[in-house]
Amino acid sequence: MGLSGAVPLLLAGRVNYKGQALFSLASLPFSLKLVWAPIVDSSKVRGFGRRKSWLVPTQLLIGTSMVLARSSIDAWMTLPDMRKLTALFLGLYFLCATQDIAVDGWALTMLSEKNVGWGPTSNSLGQSLGFALSYVGFVALHDEATCNKYFRAVPAEGGLVSLADFVGWCGWAFLATTTVVAFTPEIDAEEPERISVAYARAARTLRLGPMRALCVLLLTCRAAFGAADAATALKAIDYGLRKEDVAFLSPVLLAASVVFPLVCARWTTRTPLRAFLVAVPLRLLLNPVTWAVLEYVKRGRPNHFAAFAILSLSKEFAANLMFVSQMSFFARISDPLYGGTFMTLLNTVANLGAKWPPSLALFLLDPLSKRVQDAFKLELFVSTIVGFVWLLWATPRLKRLDSLPLARWRPKLYLKKNGDNSSESSNGNHDH
């Protein structure tokens, strides 16, 4: 996932925004994984573990795919072949999304009820750390100027690692860590439901009023951040910020990606949606700041790199607060018995809501640039207005959802099947 963020940066200036938009679709499986989540939740290899039955093969396939891709990926980057690059990362994302379904379900049964909110923190911490190591870390080691300035005693041509080498190493790392997971015991107390029952359960859950309301909010909550998320770094490079300067941020962002989820954790585990309602306006206020910083970079003002670094750290904090609070709320309302499907349902909608704004913003930049002088500024302005309108509309709805008892998030047939009365359900005291 981190490498998929590095590819657009390496191709900046060599591929148009339409090509970048095509590549951005590689992460689409995370927005569609609900389609096969009930299969993952309901199938296993007997004696191996309900979650390991999916974790181990998907990770072995990821590792093998990356090792095999090592021989071709540099050629696809030299003469950019966006279709082949998109196809490779689309396949990797499909496997990652399948693995993620199993991880979400395992976290709900692995952790005690009082600690279940730490699952999303672990999720955010792990993803942020991995993304930073393979995105900003790789860019730093790949960039010639950065390597000559910080890592070499004698300057030389090229970076310390090529994309092919890094992809190969990551593939072998996947294979090694998967071997450890394969021999890790899994407590497998619950037998999975039939696949048909799991799909029926997901359908019933989607028909619940609170769930429909939450889905609408998740699909629209990131509309204001599409332009800023998709094109800020690309525009900064277009305006004169050096790629090595972006790479220099790697250790700072790496440390931030580890610290911020831990800083947010205690707040988000107690009142997740209140934390979410702080994160959204904070990210919204960063839209005009983004425009101001890019103007600062464009005019070559002193300390423009420091301004870009502060902006990047602020966005990292706001994004982490939004993500961890959202995931903590999901964990709170999810049922451990079919946690993989429940968490995937919510994450699928959230990922789809996060996916369409940047892809749309990138796709529109080229045609808009032919009609207006600064299409990116126009997109930032429009999305900011949309964001403030969304915030006024969504705030009372989010507060109402936060106050609902757990029984409102469970299909009624499921409650009757387990003999739970409304008071027990409302207090969340399920005994599965």
Tell me the Ramachandran region of residue 49: left when phi exceeds 0, alpha when psi lies from -120 to 50, beta otherwise.
left
Helix (H) or strand (E) holding 350: helix 339-369
Number of H helices, E strands in the chain: 22, 0
Q: Give the 3-state secondary structure of 197-261.
A: HHHHHHHHHHHCHHHHHHHHHHHHCCHHHHHHHHHHHHHHHHCCCCHHHHHHCHHHHHHHHHHHH
412 within domain boundaries: no
Q: Which carries the bigger pLDDT value, residue 303 or residue 270?
A: 303
Helix (H, G, I), strand (E, B) or coil at 152: coil
Chain position carrying tokens 């974790």 = 55
C-alpha span between 303 and 309 (Å, rounded): 10
420 within domain boundaries: no
189 within domain boundaries: yes
> What is the domain-level CATH number for residue 107?
1.20.1250.20
pLDDT attached to residue 247: 64
Q: Which carries the bigger pLDDT value, residue 293 or residue 132?
A: 293
- Would the CA dihedral through 407, 411, 412, 414 be positive or negative? negative
User: What mean pLDDT is predicted for residues 373-387?
Assistant: 90
pLDDT attached to residue 42: 83
71 within domain boundaries: yes
Looking at the DSSP bridge assignments, the partners of residue 49 are 45
User: What mean pLDDT is predicted for residues 314-335?
Assistant: 86
Residue 284 has pLDDT above 80, yes or no: yes
User: What mean pLDDT is predicted for residues 327-341?
Assistant: 78
Residue 416 has pLDDT above 50, yes or no: no
Q: Which carries the bigger pLDDT value, residue 222 or residue 304?
A: 222
pLDDT attached to residue 190: 64
Q: How far is CA 121 from CA 99, 117, 218, 243, in A?
A: 18, 7, 19, 31
Q: Which of 134-138, 281-285, 320-324 has the highest mean pLDDT?
A: 281-285
Listed range (44-53, 141-150, 334-343) with the worst mean pLDDT: 334-343
Percent of the chain with pLDDT over 90: 31
pLDDT tens profile 184-204: 888 765 666 778 887 888 888
Listed range (51-60, 165-174, 347-356, 390-399) with the worst mean pLDDT: 347-356
Residue 214: which residues within 8 A CB-CB, separation 6 or more?
Answer: 346, 349, 401
Residue 240 has pLDDT above 70, yes or no: yes
User: What mean pLDDT is predicted for residues 22-33?
Assistant: 87
Q: In the numeric block, which tokens belong to residue 11?
A: 């191709």
User: What is the overall mean pLDDT for the chain?
Assistant: 84
Helix (H, G, I), strand (E, B) or coil at 15: strand
Nearest-10 Cα torsion for 241, 247, 248, 250: 130
Helix (H, G, I), strand (E, B) or coil at 45: strand
pLDDT tens profile 128-173: 778 778 887 888 888 888 788 878 888 888 889 999 999 999 999 9
pLDDT attached to residue 250: 65
Identify which of 302, 235, 164, 174 has the alpha carbon closest to the alpha carbon of residue 13: 235
Could you list the beta-strand ranges (E) of 313-413.
Answer: none
125 within domain boundaries: yes
Whether 242 and 145 have beta carbons less than 8 Å apart is answered as yes
User: What mean pLDDT is predicted for residues 220-241?
Assistant: 88
95 within domain boundaries: yes
Q: In the numeric block, which tokens belong to residue 257?
A: 């990606």
Residue 125 has pLDDT above 50, yes or no: yes
Band (pLDDT 50/70/90 cuts) for residue 331 is: confident
pLDDT attached to residue 8: 87
205 within domain boundaries: yes
Whether 199 and 365 have beta carbons less than 8 Å apart is answered as no
pLDDT attached to residue 98: 93
CA atoms within 13 A on the CB side of 139: 27
pLDDT attached to residue 251: 65
Label residues 355-371 b or e (16+ Cβ within 10 Å = b): bbbbbbbbbbbeebeee
Q: Per the structure, how many domains does the chain have?
A: 1
pLDDT attached to residue 144: 84
Q: Which of 84-98, 221-235, 251-265, 272-286 has the highest mean pLDDT?
A: 84-98
User: What mean pLDDT is predicted for residues 84-111?
Assistant: 89
CA atoms within 13 A on the CB side of 404: 22
Helix (H, G, I), strand (E, B) or coil at 302: coil
399 within domain boundaries: yes
CA 418 from centroid of its chain's CA atoms: 34
Range of the domain at 234: 2-405
User: Cβ of 373: how many Cβ atoms within 10 Å?
Assistant: 7
Residue 217 has pLDDT above 90, yes or no: yes
Helix (H, G, I), strand (E, B) or coil at 49: strand
C-alpha span between 340 and 166 (Å, rounded): 31
pLDDT attached to residue 189: 59
Identify which of 51, 3, 30 has the alpha carbon closest to the alpha carbon of residue 162: 3
Q: Which carries the bigger pLDDT value, residue 412 or residue 109?
A: 109
